């Protein structure tokens, strides 16, 4: 798609269409500024390359945009677009309103075991999303983690990330570099696990695992035992395994380490350890709200109208400590309230790159190794051409009876991962599923279903109940606390079945529940995801089930978010919150 030059024209180091508000940081590679998107009014972070940046620097920035676009997670700051011209290059990203973990540690010292565990868990979940698409961060450290006023940490910099297994030349920050970064210079997910454990030790104890000059740090990381004595006894096995010298002795993967962390934390601090840890982080972050990127903008009236809606939110999250925060906590509440309403800005442009040349801009997807031009919308929603469901086995067969509309609007909360498409079923439903797959309808007396995918472990399926008994079963299983389920149980005390786990999504007019249920049929050799999103309007439940290998779970995230966004109305449901909840739930819906 060719976009008029005026839309992306750069003047000096400023991209047209964005008003710079303040500088967030600067260094040899360039600077990061807080800016306002003039079209939407939303804040963004813009990472500008230095004026003397060369071809290698540009390639690293392109690579970072691709890495961020592929590693979709609520624990990672989102990229919006990459803009390049003869004058320079810049990456437009989500503005995470909070303070860096480095600043928190400098101000408060040790954060306590529960808060440290919360940081470690959020970090590992963000890294797991990157590892799932074959990306190793390589430079995990407190400066690259931001803690917003809600206390949930986010990764914000993938500047030197590389594909797993690549020889890397030993880049990283010495205080957190794994032994293999000092010797073999090879990056693996275990490398990030080591760095995350080092940060955990620092959060729990207030000091880095090892000190000294470069030679002393090298010797310590290569030969010194893990400093398990720095953390409480129940947590020492986490440090011992996470900082094992041999990568093979560390946890099998980031997700496996999360499981170990959860078990240790519950055993030591109870089932509500995470809520207490997040509250402690929220309080520590809110106490420094004057340093939030949006603080100056809000103080100057840049978010007029948002202040009233958001005031006090951070103070409430910080718990009893809020009383001592005064005006600072109120400012944090304003910032959180404002940011909470705009999370996931313009998903249509997430992972896109605007490459400038010959007076025009070509907008391309930055989600793969070799992105190809594609048409996108400059509005907060994307226009996508849906695929008609094929009635036969061969991908080359025509759509048959399900001729799709020319385009559909993809909600801004939905980003299609590589290898997915929007399908138009025979029942005139829009469903996200694996690209190039069969789309088959099965009709029975009690129900009907539409299955999209090549097999039982690469499939998205819509299940419509039709008989009275199957409707009652679905009401009791997915919505056990509903009036409909209560009525069904009066008629049938054994109504329904019990899903493995379940969570409600926001909204009342269209009710929705996420569940995990073991799949039917053959399972793959490795970890996989199997989850269901059930919605109910007017007492009629409909379920969408997704089964994927764990490294393709983002297909399920997109499918569920799209399905829920179609069913819910903005006036009734908080779609931003729902999108984050869906992504987190799918990340936990893991089977061995």
Which two three-digit tokens encode residue 41?
A: 């009014």
Structure tokens at 19: 């008003």
CA 148 – CA 558 distance, rounded (Å): 25
User: Angle at Cα 90 formed by Cα 88 and Cα 95, nearest 5°?
Assistant: 160
In 108-171, which ranges are E strands?
135-136, 145-148, 154-155, 162-163
Q: Cα 197 vs. chain centroid, distance in angstroms? A: 21
Return d(Cα 502, Cα 480) in angstroms, integer. 11
Residue with the two structure tokens 């690293």: 60
List strands edge to edge, sheet with 352-357. 2-4, 360-365, 352-357, 79-85, 88-94, 43-49, 30-37, 18-27
Three-state secondary structure call for residue 272: coil
CA distance 377 to 408: 12
Q: Provide the 10 A C-beta neighbour count for residue 206.
A: 15
Take residue 285 and report the two structure tokens written for it: 């972050």
Contacts of 218 (CB under 8 A, 6+ apart): 174, 182
Cα 474 to Cα 459: distance, rounded to the nearest angstrom: 21
Assess contact for 261 and 120: CB atoms under 8 A: yes
3-state class of 152 per DSSP?
coil
- Tell me which of 139, 150, 192, 576 is the catalytic residue: 139
Strands 10-11 and 360-365: unpaired
Give the SS3 label for residue 158: coil
Residue 371 burial (CB count, 10 A):
19
Residue 551 is a catalytic residue: no
Catalytic positions, written as ranges = 139
């Amino acid at each position: 798609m060719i976009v008029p030059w005026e839309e992306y024209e750069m003047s000096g180091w400023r991209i047209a269409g964005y008003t710079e508000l303040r500088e967030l940081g600067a260094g040899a590679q360039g600077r990061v500024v807080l800016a306002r998107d003039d079209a939407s009014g939303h804040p963004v972070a813009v990472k500008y390359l230095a004026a003397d940046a060369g071809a290698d620097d540009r390639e690293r920035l392109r690579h970072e945009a691709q890495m961020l676009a592929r590693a979709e997670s609520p624990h990672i700051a989102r990229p919006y677009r990459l803009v390049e011209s003869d004058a320079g290059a810049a990456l437009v990203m989500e503005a995470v309103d909070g303070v860096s973990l480095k600043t928190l540690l400098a101000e408060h010292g040790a954060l306590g075991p529960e808060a440290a565990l919360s940081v470690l868990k959020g970090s590992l979940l963000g890294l797991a999303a990157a590892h799932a698409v074959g990306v190793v961060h390589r430079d995990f450290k407190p400066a690259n983690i931001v803690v917003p006023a809600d206390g949930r940490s986010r990764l914000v910099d993938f500047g030197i990330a590389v594909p797993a297994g690549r020889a890397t030349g030993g880049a990283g920050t010495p205080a957190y570099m794994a032994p293999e970064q000092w010797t073999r210079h090879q990056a693996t997910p275990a490398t990030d696990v080591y760095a995350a454990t080092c940060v955990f030790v620092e959060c729990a104890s207030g000091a880095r695992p090892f000190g000294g000059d470069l030679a002393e740090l090298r010797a310590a990381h290569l030969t010194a035992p893990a400093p398990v004595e720095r953390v409480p006894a129940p947590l020492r096995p986490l440090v011992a395994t996470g900082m094992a010298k041999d990568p093979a002795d560390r946890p099998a993967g980031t997700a496996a380490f999360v499981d170990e962390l959860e078990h240790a934390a519950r055993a030591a601090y109870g089932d509500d350890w995470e809520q207490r840890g997040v509250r402690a982080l929220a309080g520590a972050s809110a106490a420094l709200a004057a340093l939030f990127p949006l603080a100056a903008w809000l103080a100057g009236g840049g978010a007029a109208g948002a202040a009233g809606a958001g005031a006090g939110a951070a103070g409430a999250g910080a718990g009893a400590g809020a009383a001592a925060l005064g005006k600072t906590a109120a400012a944090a509440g304003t910032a959180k309230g404002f940011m909470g309403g705009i999370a996931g800005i313009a998903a249509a442009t997430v992972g896109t790159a605007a490459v400038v040349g010959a007076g025009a801009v070509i907008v391309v997807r930055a989600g793969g190794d070799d992105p190809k031009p594609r048409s996108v919308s400059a509005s907060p929603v994307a226009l996508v051409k849906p695929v008609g469901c094929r009635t036969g086995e061969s991908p080359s067969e025509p759509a048959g009876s399900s001729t799709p509309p020319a385009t559909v609007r993809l909600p801004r909360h939905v980003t299609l991962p590589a290898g997915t498409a929007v399908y138009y079923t025979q029942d005139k439903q829009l469903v996200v599923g694996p690209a190039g797959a069969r789309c088959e309808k099965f009709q029975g007396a009690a129900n009907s279903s539409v299955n999209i995918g090549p097999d039982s472990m690469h499939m998205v399926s819509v299940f419509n109940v039709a008989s009275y008994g199957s409707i009652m079963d679905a009401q009791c299983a997915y919505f056990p606390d509903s009036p409909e389920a209560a009525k069904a149980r009066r008629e049938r005390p054994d109504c329904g079945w019990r899903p493995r786990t379940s969570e409600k999504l926001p909204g009342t007019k269209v009710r929705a529940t996420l569940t995990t249920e073991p799949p039917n049929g053959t399972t793959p050799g490795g970890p996989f995801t199997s989850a269901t999103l059930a919605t109910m309007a007017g007492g009629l439940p409909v379920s969408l089930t997704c089964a994927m290998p764990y490294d393709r779970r983002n297909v399920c995230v997109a499918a569920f978010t799209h399905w829920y966004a179609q069913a819910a109305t903005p006036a009734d449901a908080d779609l931003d919150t729902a999108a984050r909840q869906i992504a987190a739930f799918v990340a936990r819906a893991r089977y061995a």
